[in-house]
């Protein structure tokens, strides 16, 4: 029974992890895209003055505004 409870708790933690992700709009070459980790490569530019988006949907909506 304890194993079942621990497994359920672990599954809940892993399922909730994406909710804590940060999203960035980056320009890599001629196109923009949304990524879930801040790029460390200096050739990739973080758009929007480095703004961090809390949801992927919010970042995807802002791509149209930031990357004209």
pLDDT at res. 1 = 63
Which bin fits 25, alpha (ψ -120 to 50), beta or left (φ > 0)? beta
18-55 pLDDT per residue, tens: 557 899 999 988 999 999 999 999 889 999 998 999 99
Q: Are 7 and 45 in contact (CB under 8 A)?
A: no
What does the chain come to in residues?
Answer: 68
Give pLDDT, residue 10: 56
Q: From residue 14, how far is each of 8, 17, 37 by CA, in Å? A: 10, 5, 17
- Give the pLDDT band of residue 9 (cuts 50, 70, 90): low
Tell whether the model's pLDDT for residue 8 goes beyond 70.
Answer: no
Say what the pLDDT of residue 29 is.
87
What pLDDT does residue 68 have? 82
Contact predicate 60/35, CB 8 Å: no
């Amino acid at each position: 029974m304890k194993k079942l409870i621990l497994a359920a708790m672990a599954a809940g933690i892993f399922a909730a992890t994406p909710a804590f992700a940060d999203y960035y709009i980056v320009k890599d070459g001629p196109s923009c895209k949304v990524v879930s980790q801040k790029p460390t490569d200096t050739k990739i530019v973080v758009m929007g003055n480095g703004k961090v988006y809390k949801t992927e949907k919010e970042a995807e909506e802002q791509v149209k505004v930031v990357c004209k």
